[in-house]
Amino acid sequence: MSAQLPPLLQNAGVPFDLFISSLTEQLDKAQASMAIKARLGKLPLTFAVKEISLDLRAFVQILDDDIYLRPAGPGETEASSIKLQLTTITKPMIDENSVDYSTEDPKFSLREALGDQISETEQRQLERIGVRTVQQLNELKEKAGTDVIARLSRMPVNRLQQALLRAAAPRVTKVETGVGIGSSDTSGRVHLSAPGLRPGRLPRVRAAGESVAVVGAEDGRIVLAPMASQLGCEAEVDFGDGQFARVQLTEGQLGQWGAP
C-alpha cells in the first residue's frame, strides 16, 4: 500500500463496509454518467451496470469488532480467497430489507435514553442483534426476556437489567396545546410512552401539588390533560405495586424511576 496512507490502513487494510460502500459508490457514478450520456446524445441503446463478480486475495483481520481487508502483495501466498458478486435491486427491495432509522425520535435513541447506563461497546453489542432504539429494546424484552437478550448481546445480566429499567421509564413523546376538554384551565394533551404501564391499570399522576387528569392509558401509552399551571412541571407517576417515576411535562423529556 502507499506510504501516504495512515499506518492502520497500511497494516490492517480498509474496513470491509468502507470497501463495499466505495465500490457501490463508484458503480453509482458510472451508472449516472452513462444515463446522462444517453439522454444528451439521445441514444436509442446504451449500456448499464447489472452484475459484477470479483475474486480477491486478501488478509482478513478483526480490530475492535470491525472487519478489515488488506490486499495480498507479491509472494504473499497465505492470503484468503474472497469472492464477491454484486447484483441490482429495486427501491422497494431496499425499503423491505434495510433498517428504518426514522422509526424512533432522535431524542429517544439508546444513547440519549440510557445515558451512562450503557457504554459505546454495549450499544454496539445491542445493535448487532438488531436493537437500535429504546422501543426495540422494550419490545424484545417483552417477547424474549432479559436472559435471552443478555445471552445474544453478550452483555452482563446486571448491566442489561439496569439499562432495561432506565429504558422502561416514562417519556414525553408529544405535547399538544389548545386541545380543550371543557375546562378553561386545561392546557392541552401530553402523550407519554410508558412501557411500565400494566394492562387494565390506570396510573395516578400529580404535578404542581395537584392531580393530573389521565384521559387514556393503554398499550404502553398514557395521555394526560394537565392544567396550564402544570405544563412544564415535574410530574409524579404512580404505576402501583411500588413503581414510581418522575418526568417533566415537556416534549422530549425522559423520566426516571424513584421513590414516592
pLDDT tens track for 79-97:
999 998 888 778 888 777 7
pTM, whole model, 2 decimals? Answer: 0.53
For residues 26 and 43, what is the distance between their CA atoms, to the nearest angstrom? 23
Q: Please identify, among 39, 65, 96, the residue that sits at the C-terminal boundary of a domain.
A: 96
* 18 part of a folded domain: yes
Q: Report whether pLDDT(38) > 70.
A: yes
Tell me: do 127 and 70 sit in the same domain. Answer: no
* 191 part of a folded domain: yes
- Number of structural domains in the chain: 3
184 band by pLDDT with thresholds 50, 70 and 90: very low
How large is the average pLDDT for residues 28-51?
A: 80
* 179 part of a folded domain: yes
As to burial, measured by CB atoms within 10 angstroms (0-12 exposed, 13-18 middle, 19+ buried), residue 101 is exposed
What's the pLDDT score for residue 146? 87
* Residues in contact with 44: Cβ distance below 8 Å, sequence separation at least 6, in sequence order: none
Tell me: do 81 and 121 sit in the same domain. Answer: no
What's the pLDDT score for residue 99? 61
Tell me: do 156 and 180 sit in the same domain. Answer: no
Tell me: do 19 and 87 sit in the same domain. Answer: yes
What's the pLDDT score for residue 108? 58
Tell me: do 175 and 148 sit in the same domain. Answer: no
* 103 part of a folded domain: no
Could you list the residue range(s) of the whole structural domain that residue 212 is in?
171-257
Task: Write out the three cell numbers for 73.
Answer: 502483495
Q: Please identify, among 46, 62, 96, the residue that sits at the C-terminal boundary of a domain.
A: 96
What's the pLDDT score for residue 112? 67
* 105 part of a folded domain: no
For residues 243 and 197, what is the distance between their CA atoms, to the nearest angstrom? 9
CA dihedral of residues 75, 76, 81, 86 (deg, nearest 10): -80
* 104 part of a folded domain: no
For residues 163 and 20, what is the distance between their CA atoms, to the nearest angstrom? 34
* 56 part of a folded domain: yes
Tell me: do 159 and 177 sit in the same domain. Answer: no
> Helix, strand or coil for residue 65?
coil
* 102 part of a folded domain: no
